[in-house]
Chains A and B, each alone.
Chain A
Amino acid sequence: MSTFSSTAMPAAGDGDAGAGIPGSGLSGPFPVGEYARALRGRLRAFAQVQLVGELVNLRPSRARVYFELRDPTGSIPCAIWLKDWEAICAHAAGPPADGMQVVVSGGCDYYPGSATSSPGFSFAVADLRVAGEGDLLARVERLRRQLAAEGLLELQKRLQLPPLPRTIGVITGEGGKARDDILAGLSRRGWAGRLVWGFAPVQDRHAAPAIVRALGDLATVGGVEVAIVARGGGSLADLLCFCDETLCRTVALLQMPVISSVGHHTDRTLLDDVAAVSCSTPTHAAEAAVGVDCTRARADQVAAAARLREQGRRAVLSRARLLAGLSRAPAAHLERQRTRLHQQLREIRAGARRRAQSERELNGRRALVLQRKGDSALLDCRRRKPRELERLALALAAHDPQRTLERGYALVQSPGGEPITTAAHARTSERVQLQFADDVIPAKILEP
């Protein structure tokens, strides 16, 4: 290393350090930088040509874009200035990518390196064109016809898309915009199910096998009801992987519906033909996967629930009012009856009062009459009747024998008090008694 590290290397033949290999008949030794520059000059003098091959190992750097051009028999490292690359990309349908067949124009170049950087050979690319588009399209079309003839384009179409899948599988590039678009589409639908991601490269020659593997993985996960295979737009070469025969056959035979969204709406890959549904954008694919607008459906259900609740409330309320009315009816009836009874009671009471008053007055009058009668009777008892009795007493006294006795007469009586009114009777009685006004005197009959 120390031999080649000095930039102030002496010319060939100068001193021991520059001495050649003893016995060698070759010229030199020459300083390697000089030789490298000379080699660069010779390589640059090579004829400018066009090369065709597969673009692989694409590596952009700050100033240049590096890649290799390969075919089955060999390969050449290539480099292109970044500004040229960008100009090519701007004109092409999409940036050239790994796996593409490309034609490049340019010539050989050699970077001689330096004390601190490595040398390198490259084919300096001045222009680039994606090669064989026509051939590719023809090949794709042949494969399409073959798949159609085998009926493989119809198998997925017969599968029923679940209107509201619980689990959706998505195969797309991990960092791609399609991923965000799908999320946005699902979000717009208001879908809140399980999402199973199957990240895979979506261009170059590794893409198709990776997508097939990812589909297999989704199938084994279980529960995945529909799968979306998506990527954004690209050139035909970019999308070529979605025309892969193995991929298309795999999708056709899947029992799980596959929704494809590959490229723009103008692009049509074989996967789009094979898939159950083909959508122009990942957003549409997401909306196709979820047939129901969950947000609106949820809102509709909320509205329906609210209507139901309101109608239920009204139904209950109206019946409750009816029942309340019915329940008040007996009470109202009772109240009417009670009022009527009260009225009747008042009438009876008033009648009774009137009657009682009239009876009282009548009674008073009767009492008055009674009093008068009583007074009259009392008068009878105290005056009239006693007078009458007095008259009777006087009349009776006029006949009283006592009065006769008081005038000097005497009454002859038997000893038992019986009056003796005849002489004959007297003669038969031995003993008699004489009743005077003041006393009784016993007497004896002398002459029989």
Chain B
Amino acid sequence: MNEPSAQAAKEQPAQTYEAAAARVEEIIRRLDSGDASLNETLTLVAEGKGLIELCARELAAVGDALEELRLDELVTRLEGESGS
């Protein structure tokens, strides 16, 4: 089960968060339709799981980066400069 999701993740290394999320939505819609075979379901779930993990990592990275930017400090500094 892990193998296909890992492969799917490896197959689309440059996938963006939005594309990944859209793909997950698409996978869920496919699974919700009930048309997917067991085999496809297994594959899709593995892929979806990998994509969700990717998205979670992406979100964490972006959040960390946003926090790293310290925009509040920048605002505080600029307000101090423009007031002087």
A361 near B60: Cβ-Cβ < 8 Å: no
Closest to B63 in A: A381
B28 CB, min distance to chain A CBs, angstroms:
5
> Is A389 in contact with B28, judged by CB distance below 8 angstroms?
no
Q: CB distance B52 to A393 under 8 Å?
A: yes
- Docked Cα-Cα span, A418 to B71, in Å, equals 52
Please name all residues of chain A whose beta carbon is closer than 8 Å to the beta carbon of B11 when the two chains form the complex: none
| Docked CA distance A37–B81 (Å) | 159
Pick the contact of A371: B32, B72, B81 (CB < 8 A): B72
**Of A378, A380, A396, the contact of B31 (CB 8 Å cutoff):** A396
**B59 CB–A CB distance under 8 Å:** yes
B32 contacts across to A, CB distance below 8 A: 395, 399
Contacts of A363 in B (CB 8 A): 78, 82
Question: Which residue on A lies nearest to B37, using beta carbons?
Answer: A421
Within 8 A of B (CB), among A319-377: 357, 360-361, 363-364, 367-368, 370-371, 374-375, 377
Q: Which of chain A's residues 95-129 have a Cβ closer than 8 Å to chain B?
A: none
B63 and A364 form a contact (CB under 8 A): no
CB A370 to nearest CB in B, in angstroms, measures 6
Q: Which residues of A contact B52 (CB under 8 A)?
A: 389, 392-393, 396
Chain B proximity mask over A279-312: 1 for CB below 8 Å, otherwise 0: 0000000000000000000000000000000000
- Known contacts: A386-B59, A392-B24. The answer to whether A419 contacts B42 by CB under 8 A is yes
Contacts of B56 in A (CB 8 A): 386, 389
For the complex formed, measure the closest distance between the CB of B2 and the CB atoms of chain A, giving whole angstroms.
11
Which chain B residue has the least Cβ–Cβ distance from A392? B24
Q: Are B74 and A371 in contact (CB under 8 A)?
A: yes
B15 → chain A closest CB, angstroms: 15
Q: Which residue of B lies closest to A404 (CB)?
A: B38
Q: CB-CB < 8 A to B60: which residues of A? A: 381
CB-contacts of B55-77 with A (<8 A): 55-56, 59-60, 62-63, 66-67, 69, 71-72, 74-75
Chain A residues with CB under 8 Å of B63's CB are: 377-378, 381-382
Q: Which residues of B contact A388 (CB under 8 A)?
A: 21
Tell me whether B81 and A378 are in contact (CB under 8 A): no
- B12 in contact (CB, < 8 A): no
Residues 2-42 of B at the A interface (beta carbon under 8 Å): 17, 21, 24-25, 27-28, 31-32, 36-39, 41-42
Counting CB contacts under 8 A, is A400 at the interface?
A: yes
| Bound-complex Cα distance A377 to B63 (A) | 8
B25 and A399 within 8 A (CB): no
Tell whether, in the assembled complex, residue B59 and residue A389 are in contact, meaning their CB atoms are under 8 Å apart. Answer: yes
What residues of chain B lie closer than 8 Å to A275, measured between beta carbons? none
Q: Which residues of B contact A361 (CB under 8 A)?
A: 82
Contact at A367–B28, with CB atoms within 8 Å?
A: no
> Residue of B at shortest CB range from A357?
B82
Cβ of A385 under 8 Å from chain B: yes
Provide the residues of chain B in CB contact with A396, threshold 8 Å: 24, 27-28, 31, 45, 48-49, 52
Question: Given A360-B78, A411-B38, are A370 and B24 neighbors across the interface (CB < 8 Å)?
Answer: no
A251 CA / B69 CA spacing, docked (Å): 134
Q: Is B66 in contact with A381, judged by CB distance below 8 angstroms?
A: yes
State the CA gap A389–B18 with chains docked (Å).
12
> Given the complex, which residues of B lie within 8 Å of A397, measured CB to CB?
45
Query: Which of A360, A370, A399 has the largest count of B CB atoms less than 10 A from its CB?
Result: A399
Contact across chains for A401 and B55 when beta carbons are under 8 A apart? no
Question: Which 9 pairs from chain A and chain B are nearest by CB?
Answer: A381-B63, A399-B31, A371-B71, A364-B78, A396-B48, A360-B82, A381-B59, A374-B71, A395-B28
